[in-house]
Structure 1
Amino acid sequence: MTVTSRPRKVRFVAAAFAVVFVAVFTVVAVLLRDTPTGVYFQVSDQVAMVGIGVLLACGALWLTRPRVAADADGVTVRNLLGSTRYPWDHIRSISFPDGASWARLELPDDEYVPVMAVQAIDGDRAVATIRELRKLHRAATVTEAG
C-alpha cells in the first residue's frame, strides 16, 4: 500500500494568483507606453514588467510543490526547499497539533519535520491522509518490533 498526497486548496488559490499576476503585469506593460507622465518607456521596460509578473506567478506556484509519499519502507516528504526520505523506524509518530497549519513527523530527540503537503485547510482529505500515514507507520513499527 502506498499513500501520496499534495495540498489541494492551496493549488487552486496559487494558480488563481499566478494568473492574476501575469494578467495584471501584462496589462500594465501594454499600458506603460501610453502614460502621460513625461517618462518614455521602452520595449525593454514592458518586457521587464511581464517578466516580473511571471516571476511572481512562479513564486505563487512554488507553494504547490509540497508532496508526501509513503510506502511500507518509509515516507518521503517534499516541502518548499527539499525532499527527504525517512524510514519508519526513525519516526516516533505522525501528528497534527491543534491550531497547526500542517501535519508533522515526530522524530527522536524532540525533533520534528513539517509535512506541508497535509494542510488543515484541506479538511477531511487531510484527516484521511493522516490516518493512512499512521496505518502505514503502525504496520511498519509492529512488524519491526515483533
Structure 2
Amino acid sequence: MTTPAELPVTWAPRRTRAVLLPVCGLLVVMFAVIAVALPANWQLNDRIMMVLSGLLFAAAGVMLARPRVSADAEGVTVVNFVRSRRLAWAEIVRVNFRQGDPWATLDLADGTSLAAVGIQSGVGKAQAIADARALRDLVEGHGR
C-alpha cells in the first residue's frame, strides 16, 4: 500500500524541462548570432525574420515544457501544452494510465476525459505509474 501524497503536490516531467528550456535559450542566441553574421547582401527584414524564427522555435520548445499536474486541497490543475484547466476533486471520476498510453487521462463527471500530460511515460514507466497511482489515491480520498 502506498502512502498518500502530501498536498500540495506537482507532477511534471522535470528532465524534459531541464533539457528543453536551455535548448530554447540556445536557439534564440544561435539565431540572433546567425542574423548578425549573415552576409552584407541580406537585408534588415531577413535578419529580423531570422531572429523571429529562433523565437518561434523557442516558443514551441517552451510549450512542450509546460505540462504539469498540480493537486491541492481544493482540487487539481492540469496544465497541458496549450491549455490549463482547474478541476474540483468531485469532477474527477477516475485516473487512467493504461499500458501503452503516453500519459495519464482523467475521466470526468461530465462524461469527458482530459489528458494529464504532466504524468507521462517519457519520464520512466515506473515513475509515471507511481505518479498516476498517487493521483488516483488522492482522487479517491478527496472525491468521496
State the partner residue of 1:137: 139
Structure 2: gaps of 5 or more residues: 1-6
Corresponding position: 1:29 with 2:72: no
Structure 1's unaligned 5+ residue stretches are 35-39
Higher mean C-alpha deviation, range 14-23 or range 82-91: 14-23
Tell me the secondary structure at the aligned position of residue 92 of structure 1.
Answer: strand
The CA deviation at 1:57 is 0.9
> Normalization by structure 2: what TM-score?
0.79
Question: How far has the Cα of 1:86 moved from its partner?
Answer: 1.6
How much has 1:117 moved relative to structure 2? 0.8
Q: SS of the counterpart of 2:82? A: coil
Distance 1:86 1:30 in 2: 47
| Aligned-residue offset at 1:96 | 0.9
Distance 2:8 2:138 in 1: 8
CA distance in 1, matches of 2:25, 2:79: 25
Equivalents in 2 of 1:112, 1:9: separation in Å?
A: 26
Aligned residues: 137
Match of 2:48 in 1: 47
Question: Quick check: 1:3–1:132 contact (8 Å CA) kept in 2?
Answer: no
2:11 to 5, 10, 20: 5
Contact 2:97 2:129 survives alignment (8 Å):
no
Please say if residues 3 and 133 of structure 1, whose CA atoms lie closer than 8 Å, have aligned partners that are also in contact: no
Q: Identity over aligned residues, as a percent?
A: 37
Q: Deviations over 1:39-77 (max 9, x none)?
A: x21233223212211221111111111121112332111
Write the mapping of 1:79-98 to structure 2, written as runs, cut at 5 A. 79-98=80-99
Q: Deviations over 1:94-116 (max 9, x none)?
A: 11122111111012465210001
**Matching residue's letter, 1:126:** A
The aligned runs of 1:96-115 (5 Å cut-off) are 96-108=97-109, 110-115=111-116
Q: Which has the larger radius of gyration?
A: 1
CA–CA separation in structure 2 for the residues paired with 1:106 and 1:32: 52
Query: Structure 2: how far apart are the matches of 1:108 and 1:137?
Result: 12
Cα RMSD over matched residues?
2.2
Q: Please, which moves more after superposition, 17-26 or 92-101? A: 17-26
| Aligned partner letter, 1:8 | R
